Structure 1
């Protein structure tokens, strides 16, 4: 019954978020606490870009809509049905959140609370406002959560376990600092797509969503393409042309100009369509406005390589060319049970 109460609070949050649309937000009078929160959230979404230049209205509304779709009774019940929370003794779980894309740390926040623990959150300076607003809405729905949700701007202290997300460099600090605590430490990862030349125009248009959503800043964004030897990129460039407006956003445009200039000054051979460069490179992590690519001759050899490099890869996108690959256009629409770095957060929280 207690688990059902926890689910219902997040279902209410999902209903609240479902009201908001970039084109036409519509107030649903059946949603709880709208008189207090609806207008304020619209204002926050409008101001998000002033807090973080990458958080355009299109991107923050997309993030809000994605969570509205995820936070349903059906999804939450399906997600939680495989776990036994009966022996969980409430602990304080520290969260150190990233801020590369809007609400990127909300899954960890949700997981801690839904498992019965208390949460102590240190937000990223790049995303301080959205998750705090949603926390306040949840507290309005269920006042008991007020004692279970805390935020800190300073040093993370007085916690029993920690989930920390950062770069490979900060991960080394986290691993040292939290060495005596149960922890999940997340590092840099990137996503890749495997093409074989048989993809439809619609597949490649959808691949553009995997590349350009959130301007490519997320670990689930495709930053590397594997293509068969002799692959003709004309069909790829034709398909992604509908994302051309990305170049009109100044921060993206500045990155495109800078990174292209650096590549050209280094005499790298580039493929370029005026808003995205393709560079042949063995690395997985490409800079903003660029995607790396690499040729493969044997799909079986490529699978072995990706398995060996799995600690560097978040998602693999293809038309079923590898086991557990994600369909084109779906990388930024993970299900609740699609865990970052393939680490089961709820299993960790139950074991703490």
Structure 2
């Protein structure tokens, strides 16, 4: 292929970003029909994911992101990608990293999210056809020089067994958490609703648990997220809500219920769908200690409290809007690919 330079790369991907933030009729048709293949991929969810990806690919951020790395465009390694499919376009960032480093992506897409990522990459080729030979979709990964694989704690063991002999990034389950101080405004808690409910809570950046000060009363929290109530009309979400509610009632587990979200005190980080776990803390220092103990299991922390932490900290409503340099599991994918 003819050689890229950094300016070409930035121009190409910022144009892709522009097209994703203002979807044309053809892309809107893809967005509208995704739910036929995956009931969780409602038009609203898919549109959110597509436009969030588009906003991420803005020229200023692309320039800021790429200048940190020594990218020659000479990368010629075949990088196998095992993409997750829990939310729309969730694996796109890995594909992006492989392409901008000049490497070739061998993509094992999830059956849950195969069509959307193919469509977006076809858009990329229309913008710059030099990318046409930089990726391929495969049913079986072979002939690769490196691997980036995303899965569950169970599948990660298989990944380590099969891919352990080549340079790799293997990701496991992670969750996100919110730390509340009790001083949040209605607007901040409403924004937190997006961190909890966007993509129905299926993403690793979705808040599955909140830490609250001792004696915290949840009435104001429930009032502030009331506008998310229509989520209960999604049949799969509703099934999860009904199932978990019946379990709590049968087991006589103490919980709070606002009609579309179940709130339960629990030490676990991973809550079932339609549920939110919480724990209390005595002071900010003890809350930080709890977060430090869980740091390897956390994707991001949603709070306005001043924290000293290795984990990514974001403001309310921002967990599902990562920037280009917000790497999954805190592992710098670009650094890994640049040094193959």
**What's the TM-score bracket when you normalise by the shorter of the two chains?**
over 0.9
Q: Cα distance, 1:88 vs. partner?
A: 5.0
Distance 2:238 2:73 in 1: 52
Equivalences, count = 334
Give the Cα separation in 2 of the matches to 1:3 and 1:87.
8
Partner-residue secondary structure (3-state), 2:113: coil
* Among candidates 48, 52, 56, match of residue 62 of structure 1: 48
Task: Provide the residue aligned with 1:203 in structure 2.
Answer: 188
1:66-90 residue CA offsets vs partner (Å, 9 max, x unmatched)? 1121112111111111111138532
- 1:187 CA displacement: 0.5
- Shift in Å, 1:321: 3.5
* SS in structure 2 of the partner of residue 288 of structure 1: coil
Where does the alignment leave 5 or more consecutive residues of structure 2 unmatched? none
Contact 2:80 2:148 in 1 (8 A): yes
Q: Which of residues 10, 13, 21 in structure 1 aligns to 2:13?
A: 10
RMSD: 1.2
Q: How do 1:149-164 and structure 2 match up within 5 A?
A: 149-153=135-139, 155-164=140-149
Q: Measure, in 1, the Cα distance between the counterparts of 2:142 and 2:7.
A: 31
Of 296, 310, 314, the residue aligned with 1:326 is: 314
CA distance in 2, matches of 1:180, 1:152: 20
Q: 1 CA distance for matches of 2:121 and 2:73? A: 25
**1:112-131 alignment to 2 at 5 Å?**
112-131=98-117
Given candidates 245, 257, 265, the residue that maps to 2:250 is 265
Instruction: Give 1:248 shift.
Output: 1.0
1:248 maps onto 2:251 in alignment: no
Cα displacement (A) at 1:320: 2.6
Q: Is the 8 A contact 2:34 2:42 kept in 1?
A: yes
Judging changes above 3 Å, is the alpha-carbon distance between structure 1 residues 176 and 305 closer, same or farther for their aligned structure 2 residues? same
Equivalence map 1:38-53=2 (5 Å): 38-53=24-39
CA–CA separation in structure 1 for the residues paired with 2:256 and 2:325: 37
Kindly provide the CA deviation profile for residues 118-173 of structure 1, in whole angstroms up to 9, marking residues without a partner as x.
Answer: 100000010010000111111122222111111012x2111100100000000010
Give the alignment of 1:172-191 within 5 angstroms: 172-191=157-176
| Alignment TM-score, normalising by the size of structure 2 | 0.96
Secondary structure of 2:111's partner?
Answer: coil
Query: Within 1, Cα distance between the matches of 2:313 and 2:144?
Result: 36
Q: Give the Cα–Cα distance (whole angstroms) in 2 for the partners of residues 59 and 247 of structure 1.
A: 15
Instruction: Give TM-score, length-normalised by structure 1.
Output: 0.92
2-side partners of 1:228 and 1:333: how far apart?
A: 27
The whole-number CA distance in structure 1 between the counterparts of 2:269 and 2:170 is: 20
1:88, 1:350 within 8 Å by CA — same for their partners in 2? no
Given that 2:5 and 2:72 are in contact with CA atoms closer than 8 Å, whether structure 1 keeps it comes out as no
